[in-house]
Amino acid sequence: MTGRRPVTLPGPLVTAPPKASPSGARPVDAEPPIAEPSDPLPPARWQGSPPPPGEIRTLAADLRLDRFGLDPARLDTLARDLDLIVHCAAVTGFDQPPASHRAVNVEGTARILALADRPGAAPVPVLHVSTAYVCGDRSGPVAEAPFRAGAAFANAYEASKAEAETLVAAAGARGLPVAIARPSIVVGAWADGAIARFDNFYGMLRLVAEGRIRTIPAAHGASLDLVPIDHVVRGLADIAERMREAAGRIYHLVSGNPVPVTLLRDLALSYPQFHAPRFVPPEGFDPAALAEEEAWWHTHVASHYASYFRRAPRFVDDNLRALTERGCPPVDWAFLCRLVDRCIAAGFLRPEVAQRTSG
């Protein structure tokens, strides 16, 4: 059972700031068009029986509601045919209120676990999709192990995913076959940067590229673990196909080669139409000293991402390598350029404007 509650920056995330914009920035009410991706799922809906091999059936459900909002007979029919639950439904927007994260990410996970362990029925294995950033604000090596008690989390999303992991671990201790997958910051496919939605990290990228956020407080040595979405999908498939062997373990679906945040400035400088951010030490950063609009964006958007520019976790992925010998393809300069080029091709980031010459 899966689901999605996308949050896109800087569109539905926030109300528009004051109309004044920094020099060289596009007015805030003139967003570039975002190409709407086609839904990869076919339109066929679940009708009460398993789909033929190679086909997908969909069923609308709500993790916030008892029985997922389904009538008892329909839920019983669904539960009867389950052989594996891949639970990746979540509220991921950092700006969302803690109650929203709790209702879906924590209480929704509890309902999924209850569905998998119904009285009188055989237990259904659960592959729970969490986040590598349940590590909290720590830097350095992060093992594929339960998160550290007392960790300080950057936002309610991280905290809710950590709490959900405790529920999954408790279910595993009771005998339910469970495995936890922890992707890091998921970005486009490795070969061409393709991705269904430009949200979260991408929204911050656009605000910086357009010059709305020009100053970023960043710690020396801070880095971001960006992982291609196809590596995450293949990793999830590997785990799902080997649940008997995988159960009881945590798997980092990560690049293992984090990108220094300062490299993002070099990336911006390589595209003449983009603004390059200025990095400053966090202890000397004062948003009140910024221009009005940039201060607004820092308060309403950048603050949700601040801790990601102040830490440098290095996620160990030994469990996935041991299970499948799969490693992430290189997250290098060429890959970062492919991500940006995809954003430009889709209209999410502005293209380079050709200069006209007379003569």
CB atoms within 10 A of CB 265: 17
Mean pLDDT of 216-221: 94
Ranges 28-32, 179-183, 249-253, 306-310: which has the least confidence: 28-32
Q: Would you say 222 and 260 are in contact if contact means Cβ atoms under 8 Å apart?
A: yes
Q: Would you say 253 and 183 are in contact if contact means Cβ atoms under 8 Å apart?
A: yes
Among residues 221, 229, 304, which one has the least CA distance to residue 14? 304
**What digits encode the pLDDT tens for the residues 9-62?**
333 333 344 443 333 333 333 333 333 444 555 558 888 888 888 888 899 999
Mean of all residue pLDDT scores within the chain: 86
Q: Report d(CA 220, CA 279) in Å as an integer.
A: 10
Q: By percentage, how much of the chain surpasses pLDDT 90? A: 72
pLDDT of 8 over the 80 cut: no
Q: Report d(CA 93, CA 178) in Å as an integer.
A: 26
Mean pLDDT of 152-181: 95
Residue 126 confidence (pLDDT): 98
Q: What count of Cα atoms within 13 Å lies in the side-chain half-sphere of residue 348?
A: 28
pLDDT of 287 over the 90 cut: no
Residue 25 confidence (pLDDT): 35
Residue 244 confidence (pLDDT): 95
Residue 2 confidence (pLDDT): 36
Residue 313 confidence (pLDDT): 96
Q: Which residues of 156-177 are buried (b: 16+ CB within 10 A; e: fewer)?
A: bbbbbbbbbbebbbebbeeebb
Residue 43 confidence (pLDDT): 58
What confidence category does residue 354 fall into, taking pLDDT thresholds of 50, 70 and 90?
low
pLDDT of 358 over the 60 cut: no
Q: Would you say 328 and 227 are in contact if contact means Cβ atoms under 8 Å apart?
A: yes
CATH top-level class of 66-198+225-259+314-333: alpha beta
Q: Would the pTM of this model clear 0.75, i.e. be above it?
A: yes
Mean pLDDT of 162-191: 97
The domains of the chain are located at 66-198+225-259+314-333
Residue 6 confidence (pLDDT): 31
Q: Report d(CA 301, CA 57) in Å as an integer.
A: 36
Query: What is the DSSP code (8-state) at residue 164?
Result: H
Among residues 3, 18, 1, 30, which one has the least CA distance to residue 206? 30
pLDDT of 280 over the 90 cut: yes
